[in-house]
């Protein structure tokens, strides 16, 4: 058996198209969109929407097919002759992380404005029933651009999700869930809120005394009375992307908008906290890929700028013969390659249906740290040119830090890695 590291041809073809967008649509608008925070990158949105519709359609059909065939995604068994040709592996998530790495190389804030299901769609894919996937995700394959988002963080509940205070009470008289509470730092929340077919997956508790066991995911559709944006954040980086705070004030949603196998009453079993973790297992490699795209942009710019001054990469000389700048460039590239290999491993496991919890957290930790170090080093090596707004180096440094924070901070993911490797429970190691 051989191990193949070559990127599949169909992904290579897609990447060439995405690179055109990154170079000719995203990079030219980077500085303008960073200076005018929350301006919607319309050229990018409309250019990417057809491709995102196709990806959303493929992911939805694959998910529904797996549900019909016992979760393995294979066609039903038939009595006909079997083909000797090897089965083609699924590469949907692999294609996605390659695309996101390239788009983040173009501009991470603009990439986050990409239309589609986003984190909300990932949560529905992770824990929704086939009927819910069809009902909620089909909208991202049709019509005009629209967005999905996920609202989990609260003022008193960041990494400590067991402290979520947003409540969900079931009203038997109307067969509805009633949500009350506040959510902060919701990425693309404004985009999801503004479009008629947008949706937000809100995590709330049906029992405050149950901790994580009481957490449940609810789909709140755009335009639902009682859902209101109260703040749009001004941020250090990814400034083209919107980040908002919501208030849910007696926000009523249908009973079957509770994601999971049983959604009729408050005592029905749903995939609560475990569902959230499954969502993160799918999205942490995506965050890592975005971090790597930013890091690659900074590394390549620093490398090429220094090369014009006569400082070139040297892969053959022993380290003690290298200049400090050459050694720094090598370290930057090593960090990128390590993070990328971990990301590919986590993504490949996800595509094959394997357990990717450990590698998902590992790649998130590594990429978050690597991009922070790489972008800071790029600014340092470039001197005044790196610190000024004459180039995008300082912007990449500002954009980088979020990748070490959202989708579980670097500290939280390090804890997850340690628990998985050492066999400790959450109570034993925290």
Are 299 and 400 in the same domain?
yes
- Which residue, 216, 238, 268, sits at the end of a domain? 268
- Which residue, 268, 295, 315, sits at the end of a domain? 268
Q: Which of 286, 407, 417 is nearest to 346 (CA)?
A: 286
Taking the C-alpha atoms of residue 119 and residue 140, their distance in angstroms, rounded to an integer, is 13
Are 101 and 157 in the same domain?
no
Q: CATH no. for residue 372?
A: 1.20.140.10
Are 301 and 417 in the same domain?
yes
* pLDDT of amino acid 272: 61
Flag whether pLDDT at 174 surpasses 50: yes
335-394: pLDDT as tens digits: 999 999 999 999 999 888 889 999 999 999 999 999 999 999 999 999 999 999 999 999
Return the residue matching tokens 């709330």. Answer: 204
Taking the C-alpha atoms of residue 284 and residue 346, their distance in angstroms, rounded to an integer, is 9
pTM of the model: 0.91
How many domains is the chain built from? 3
Please report whether residue 4 resides in a domain: no
Domain coverage including residue 211: 148-268
- Which residues lie below 8 Å from residue 124, measured CB to CB, with a gap of 6+? 117, 132, 133, 136, 137, 148, 201, 219, 259
Are 196 and 211 in the same domain?
yes
Please report whether residue 283 resides in a domain: yes
Are 210 and 345 in the same domain?
no
88 band by pLDDT with thresholds 50, 70 and 90: low
Please report whether residue 93 resides in a domain: yes
Q: What angle do CA 333, 371, 337 make, to 5 degrees?
A: 30
4-18: pLDDT as tens digits: 678 889 999 989 999
Please report whether residue 125 resides in a domain: yes
Are 251 and 379 in the same domain?
no
- For the packed helices 357-382 and 324-352, what is the interaxial angle rounded to 10 degrees? 160
Q: Which has the higher per-residue pLDDT, 7 or 231?
A: 231
Are 125 and 187 in the same domain?
no
Please report whether residue 1 resides in a domain: no
Are 116 and 163 in the same domain?
no
Are 183 and 223 in the same domain?
yes
Q: What is the mean pLDDT of residues 251-261?
A: 92
Query: Is the distance from CB of 345 to CB of 265 less than 8 angstroms?
Result: no
Are 411 and 302 in the same domain?
yes
- Which residue, 210, 240, 268, sits at the end of a domain? 268
Residue 301: both structure tokens together = 């710019």
Residues recognised as catalytic: 407
Query: Is the distance from CB of 56 to CB of 140 less than 8 angstroms?
Result: yes
Q: CATH no. for residue 159?
A: 2.40.110.10
Question: b or e along 171-202 (b: 16 or more beta carbons within 10 Å of the residue's beta carbon)?
Answer: eeeeebbbbbbbbbbbbbbbbbbebebbbbbb
263-307: pLDDT as tens digits: 444 444 445 666 667 778 889 999 999 999 999 999 999 999 999
Burial class of residue 212 (count of CB atoms within 10 Å of its CB; 0-12, 13-18, 19+): middle
Flag whether pLDDT at 413 surpasses 80: yes
Q: What is the mean pLDDT of residues 229-242?
A: 96
Give Cα separations from 280 to 38, 115, 361, 381, 390 (angstroms): 26, 19, 9, 35, 37
Q: Which of 133, 119, 121 is nearest to 65 (CA)?
A: 133
Please report whether residue 80 resides in a domain: no
Are 289 and 410 in the same domain?
yes
201 forms bridges with which residues in the sheet? 150, 219
Are 291 and 397 in the same domain?
yes
Q: What is the mean pLDDT of residues 151-179?
A: 92
Helical (H) or strand (E) element with 186: strand 176-187
* pLDDT of amino acid 266: 44
3-state helix, strand, coil split of the chain in percent (to 5) is 55, 15, 30
Q: Which of 401, 406, 420 is nearest to 359 (CA)?
A: 420
DSSP state, residue 319: G
Residue 215: both structure tokens together = 């957490």
- For the packed helices 130-137 and 42-68, what is the interaxial angle rounded to 10 degrees? 160
Q: Which of 214, 213, 198, 217 is nearest to 257 (CA)?
A: 217
39-82: pLDDT as tens digits: 899 999 999 999 999 989 998 998 898 888 875 545 444 444 45
Q: Which of 26, 29, 56, 45 is nearest to 191 (CA)?
A: 45
* pLDDT of amino acid 75: 46
Flag whether pLDDT at 223 surpasses 90: yes
384-410: pLDDT as tens digits: 999 999 999 999 999 999 999 998 899
Please report whether residue 65 resides in a domain: yes
* pLDDT of amino acid 62: 87
Taking the C-alpha atoms of residue 122 and residue 280, their distance in angstroms, rounded to an integer, is 9
User: For residue 217, how many C-alpha atoms fall within 13 Å in the half-sphere facing its CB?
Assistant: 33
Please report whether residue 78 resides in a domain: no
Q: Which has the higher per-residue pLDDT, 83 or 245?
A: 245
């Amino acid at each position: 058996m051989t191990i193949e590291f070559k990127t599949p041809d169909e992904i290579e073809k897609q990447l060439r198209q995405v690179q055109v967008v990154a170079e000719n649509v995203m990079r030219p608008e980077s500085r303008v969109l960073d200076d005018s925070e929350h301006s919607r990158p319309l050229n990018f949105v409309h250019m990417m929407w057809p491709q995102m519709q196709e990806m959303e359609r493929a992911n939805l059909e694959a998910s529904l097919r797996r549900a019909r065939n016992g979760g393995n995604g294979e066609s039903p068994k038939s009595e006909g002759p079997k083909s000797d040709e090897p089965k083609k592996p699924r590469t949907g998530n692999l294609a996605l992380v390659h695309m996101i790495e390239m788009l983040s190389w173009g501009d991470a804030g603009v990439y986050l404005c990409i239309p589609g299901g986003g984190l909300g769609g990932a949560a529905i894919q992770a824990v929704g029933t086939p009927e819910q996937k069809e009902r909620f995700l089909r909208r991202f394959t049709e019509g005009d651009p629209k967005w999905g988002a996920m609202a989990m963080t609260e003022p008193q509940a960041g990494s400590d999700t067991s402290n979520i205070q947003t409540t969900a009470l079931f009203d038997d008289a109307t067969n509805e869930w009633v949500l009350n509470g506040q959510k902060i730092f919701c990425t693309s929340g404004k985009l999801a809120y503004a479009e008629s077919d947008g949706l937000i997956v809100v995590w709330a508790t049906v029992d405050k005394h149950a901790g994580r066991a009481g957490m449940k995911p609810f789909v709140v559709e755009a335009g639902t009375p009682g859902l209101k944006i109260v703040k749009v954040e001004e941020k250090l980086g990814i400034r083209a992307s919107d980040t908002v705070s919501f208030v849910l004030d007696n926000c009523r949603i249908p009973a079957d908008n509770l994601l999971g196998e049983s959604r009729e009453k408050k005592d029905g079993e749903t995939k609560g906290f475990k569902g959230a973790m499954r969502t993160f297992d799918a999205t942490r490699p995506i965050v890592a890929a975005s971090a790597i795209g930013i890091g690659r942009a900074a590394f390549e710019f620093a490398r090429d700028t220094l090369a014009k001054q006569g400082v070139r990469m040297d892969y053959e000389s022993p380290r003690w013969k290298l200049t400090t700048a050459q050694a720094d460039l090598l370290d930057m590239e090593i960090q990128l390659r390590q993070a990328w290999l971990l990301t590919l491993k986590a993504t490949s496991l996800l595509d094959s249906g394997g357990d990717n919890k450990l590698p998902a957290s590992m790649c998130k930790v590594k990429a978050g740290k690597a991009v922070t170090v790489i972008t800071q080093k790029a600014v340092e090596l470039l001197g005044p040119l790196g610190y000024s707004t004459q180039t995008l180096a300082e912007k990449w440094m500002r954009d980088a830090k979020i990748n070490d924070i959202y989708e579980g901070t670097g500290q939280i993911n390090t804890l997850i890695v340690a628990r998985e490797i050492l066999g400790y429970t959450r109570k034993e190691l925290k």
